[in-house]
Amino acid sequence: MKYSRFMQGVLLSAVIVAEVSPQTLSAAPTQPGDRMDAAARLSASSTAAMGTAFVQVAAGNYYSVGLRADGSVWTWGRNLMGELGIPDTTAVSSMAAPIRLSTLPPLNSIATDGYGYQLGVTRDGTVWEWGSRPGYVRETQVPRVLPGLSGISQVTTLQKYSFGLGSDGSVKAWMRDQKSGDSGQPISVKGLKNIVQLQSASDYICALDSAGSVWRFTVNTSENQLHLSVPVRIQGLPALKQISTQHAYDAYGVDSSGKVWKWSSIQASSGTEKLYVKPVSIQPSLQVQNVYASIGYMLLVSRQGEVWMYDGKPGRSAVKIKGLQRIVSAAAGDTHRLAVDAKGQVYGWGANNWNEVGVPRNAGDGMEYAPVPIQRPITIRINGSLLPASFPAINKNNSISVPVKSIAKEFGGSLEASTTQEGTTYRLQYGQTTVTFRTGSAEAAIQGRSMALSGPVSMINGAVMVPASLFKQLGCQVDWNPHLAELSIQGK
């Protein structure tokens, strides 16, 4: 049997991961927009060190998004089209480490359309958006609240349409203008009640109700108006507790016994939803907690916290990804995968040409065939407030490097560059103090006096990075909390 080059990589990664030692902790992937199981979220949150554990991840097209227990949102990977929602960085093609979206309020859940547009639900039920702007090349929409929405608990989004699940089990729908990027007024989806999960793919939406029934409806626009079909219940399915969709017709679900089902449906002329392929049980020997569907494969997370990868080909069995333990949430992207364990640690594997896995791209083929822990996210506070930086801090060889220009701006300082035949020299002005340095050098001149730095000055993603200890040498109070991975700098 022949496979595409991508699927060969997917299956090879599963085989290689199976050889990882049992001590290697990792997690399983999720489909964009999937909501974490409530028990899994509670388990991860209970082990969080002051909220730093991740509780949900989403794998977009060459980029990633993660939500922590403290409600903060972190993003990494490709930013070529403004996918990450970070201001002033659209000239930067990717982020090599997680960066915090500091202007977002604490969120309870996140979703992505997979192509650069994200939504998040706050703890009071409002909805925020960020990411790529339709019709604008290399421009980003920084986080902003959507009007007219409240009492929302979960969202799912397509490129043009989005849907919100109300805390009362109702469903709202709204359209995003493909020229301005603005969202229209939400409307109620009639005929649905007691809904507990939403999934979207192509131009249709599946809704799972509290009784385990699946409802399906389609969406389209004409003359700048949103049109929804009447939701119909899919007949012939067992009662389900979780669903996942990827294709316009194929869908997957898990029942209360842990069996995974695949089905295909089509809308008949009578308006009813009929199955044209009888539901098939996938890997019936497994007891599955959640299924995550993607293009060409799916991930099965068992009740024991194991992860299995299945390509859906006739006669083939799911491959167990050994070394992954106590997995509670996952994300299955088109080319890479993410997973969260019970302690809130995120792991990634698959294609990493844009750093979407969460580690710097390797010098070889850009693939991470075995799951690796993402670089630890670092929070920076300046004078007690979150740093609104457009670039992340990096911890390398126990030396923390920070984006010097962003920090200088918060202190009322500046960073300038001058280039000569000998190279580029940077001049940091902090109050009455002048510091000069060059990239690649572990020395700086403070008021003309040469001083050693704890590490070399570097250039990462176009940002000038200096050791955080430089600010201590300038008289600032610099504190590092290793449990929270939080760096605090107080100006002198």
Domain range list for the chain: 43-373, 379-490
Tokens of 219: 């969406």
Q: What is the pLDDT of residues 123-144, one digit of tens each?
A: 999 999 999 988 776 788 999 9
As a whole number of angstroms, the longest Cα–Cα distance in the chain is: 84
* Distance in angstroms (rounded) separating the CA atoms of residues 325 and 306: 6
List strand residue ranges (DSSP E) for 342-390, in order: 346-351, 367-373, 379-382, 385-386
Output the pLDDT for position 91. Answer: 61
Q: Give the CATH number of domain 379-490; options: 1.10.760.10, 3.30.457.10, 3.40.1350.10, 2.40.50.140.
A: 3.30.457.10
CB 62 within 8 A of CB 119: no
43-373 maps to which CATH number? 2.130.10.30
Q: What is the pLDDT of residues 269-282, one digit of tens each?
A: 445 566 656 788 99
Contacts with 222 (C-beta within 8 Å, 6 or more apart), sequence order:
none
* Cα of 373 vs its chain's centroid, Å: 14
Output the pLDDT for position 396. Answer: 86
Q: Residue 57: name the closest of 38, 83, 32, 37 by CA.
A: 32
* Distance in angstroms (rounded) separating the CA atoms of residues 394 and 289: 35
Question: What are the residue ranges in the chain where pLDDT is below 70?
Answer: 1-50, 88-91, 137, 248-249, 265-277
* Distance in angstroms (rounded) separating the CA atoms of residues 87 and 85: 6
Q: Residue 474: name the closest of 417, 428, 415 by CA.
A: 428
Q: Are strands 379-382 and 486-490 parallel, antiparallel or unpaired?
A: parallel
The model carries a pTM of 0.87
Q: Residue 189: name the closest of 174, 167, 210 by CA.
A: 174
Q: Residue 108: name the closest of 177, 38, 159 by CA.
A: 38
CB 444 within 8 A of CB 456: no
Output the pLDDT for position 30. Answer: 36
Amino acid making up residue 446: I
Output the pLDDT for position 3. Answer: 40
Output the pLDDT for position 49. Answer: 54
- Reduced to 3 states (helix: H, G, I; strand: E, B; else coil), residue 138 is coil
270: left (phi over 0), alpha (psi -120 to 50) or beta: alpha
Percent helix, strand, coil in the chain (nearest 5)?
A: 5, 45, 45
Contacts with 147 (C-beta within 8 Å, 6 or more apart), sequence order:
183, 185
